Structure formats: structure tokens, C-alpha cells
Structure 1
Amino acid sequence: MQHKQIHTHHPSALARLPAIMLQTLSSVIITALFCTILFYWRANSELPLMQIGLLNFNDIKLILVLICGCMLFALVPSLLAAVFCSYFVWRLPRFLLGAAAAAAIIAFSVALLQNWLFSWPLDWIPILFNALAAAISALCVSRLQQ
């Protein structure tokens, strides 16, 4: 009796690496964008957003420093959320919303742990923005994979 070996092709972790990198990068950029808009809105809270004047050089430097800080803060949660979401989409490709929710929960948990480890004063808004950004990028990248 002859046994046929059927080899199913599963993408390796290396094949999923571009999607993980894209998802991590998009999540970090979305988080930085959310935090920049929030900072700019809070800095000019006495004025409506349409009446904000031009920025001077010191404002731009401060915003760039905050963007870099947000990007560094969001890197580890976004990367872990992207890895887990990529694995989730690879195993259960039908559950995109579940993958996005899992990415958001992981990003939220890791950002909370990161905040606790560095003993920063707890600010929920960047942590929530990171979780929202991870969910948005998980949905977009997983739809691109299909």
C-alpha cells in the first residue's frame, strides 16, 4: 500500500514578516498622529481648531519630540500586537474583528505594563490610542493579506 504525502503550504514566520512590519509601522504612526492631534488640541484648548495660528519653531520642536516619544512608547505594544494578530489571522482567517480585538487587548495590556514598569504617571489616553491604532492597523493589514 502506498501512502501519499500531502504537503499543505503554510506561510512561515519569515513569510509573514512584511505584514508584521507593515502592521507595526502603521500602528506606531497612527498612535503618534492621534497623540499629536490630542496634544495640539489641548495646547490650544481655548481656541477652536479652525482658528489655530501658525506654529513657531519651538512649537514644532516640542511636537517632534512628543511624536518621537509616542512612537517609542508605541513600538513594543504595536509589535507584539502585530505578531499575535498575524498568528491569529493565519490560524483563523475568518475572524478579522476577533484579530483586531485581540491586537487591541494586547497593545493595551503591554502599554499598561510598560507604563507601570517605567513608573510614569498613568495617562490613559496614549494607552487607549495605542490600542485603537493597533486594532485599526490589524484590520487594514489583515484585509490586505486576504
Structure 2
Amino acid sequence: MQHKQIHTHHPSALARLPAIMLQTLSSVIITALFCTILFYWRANSELPLMQISLLNFNDIKLILVLICGCMLFALVPSLLAAVFCSYFVWRLPRFLLGAAAAIIAFSVALLQNWLFSWPLDWIPILFNALAAAISALCVSRLQQ
């Protein structure tokens, strides 16, 4: 009795590059959106919810600097999660792939935070892990 081997075609690393770039970029942008909401909420946290206040130019510059720093901080964990997901997209179910991307992004962000001895702020690290999981789920759906 012959056993038929099913050979699935796995694209080369160069063919996976657009998916890696898309997943990394979407994860960084989602992290930046989460952090923008967080920073804006923290800036206006002392105001009642019914009152609307406009930020002045210095506040906007500070928030933009913090968002750019958050995007730079999220780049390496998002990239490593995207590389992992692009390699295992055909081997793991989607929910495990999203969980693995979140774990990788969280671990790399903690290591990055420890190496650069930045003050630990859990919320941007958790936002980055959540963004990596969301982008992994979306990109894996596109690839499958």
C-alpha cells in the first residue's frame, strides 16, 4: 500500500516579505492608535466626560513625540512576531497563531525594555501584544 504524501507549497522568504511588512506595519499602526487614545485620555483625565477641551500646540507636540516613541518601541516586537507568524501560518490554527504572536511581542517588548532600562509601563507593552495578535489574525486570514 502506497502512502501518498501531500506536499503543500510554502512560499519562499522573498514571497513572504510583503505579508511580513503588512503585518508589521499594521501592528505598529494599531499600537500607535491604542497609545494615542491612551495618551489623549490621560491628558484629559482630570476633566469631566461631558466637558470637551482642545489641546494646545505644545500638548499635541508632546503626544506626537510619545506616539513616535511608542511606534519605534513597537517596531522590533511587531517585526519578530510577523516573521514567526509568516513561517508558521500553514502549521498552526489561527487562534494559536494570534496567541503566539502576542506572546512573542510581549516577550520581546519586555526584553527590549530590560535591555534599554526604560521605566516599565505595562499598558503600551500590552497594547503592542494585542496589536500583534490582531494583525496576525488579519494577515493569516489573507494568506489562507
Does TM, scored on the shorter chain, surpass 0.5? yes
For Structure 1 versus Structure 2, the TM-score category normalised by the shorter chain is 0.7 to 0.9
- Tell me how far apart the structure 2 counterparts of residues 120 and 5 of structure 1 sit (CA, whole Å): 51
Asked if the contact 1:41/1:49 (under 8 Å) is kept, the reply is no
Asked if residue 37 in structure 1 is aligned to residue 28 in structure 2, the reply is no
Contact 1:89 1:96 in 2 (8 A): no
Identity of aligned residues (%): 99
Q: Distance in 1 between matches of 2:3 and 2:102?
A: 45
RMSD: 2.9
Distance 2:41 2:5 in 1: 61
Taking structure 2 as the reference length, the TM-score comes to 0.88
SS of the equivalent of 1:140 reads helix
Structure 2: stretches of 5+ with no match in the other structure: none
Whole-angstrom distance in 2 between the partners of 1:138 and 1:57: 36
* Structure 1 residue 121: Cα displacement: 1.3
Distance 2:62 2:41 in 1: 14
Rounded Cα–Cα distance in structure 1 between residues aligned with 2:114 and 2:12 = 34
Once the two structures are superposed, residues 46-100 of structure 1 have per-residue CA deviations (whole angstroms, 9 ceiling, x without a partner) of: 22455332222111111110110000000000000000011111333565655xx
Give the 3 Å change call, closer, same or farther, for CA 96–142 of structure 1 in structure 2.
farther
> How many angstroms does 1:36 deviate by?
1.2
* Count of aligned pairs between the two proteins: 144
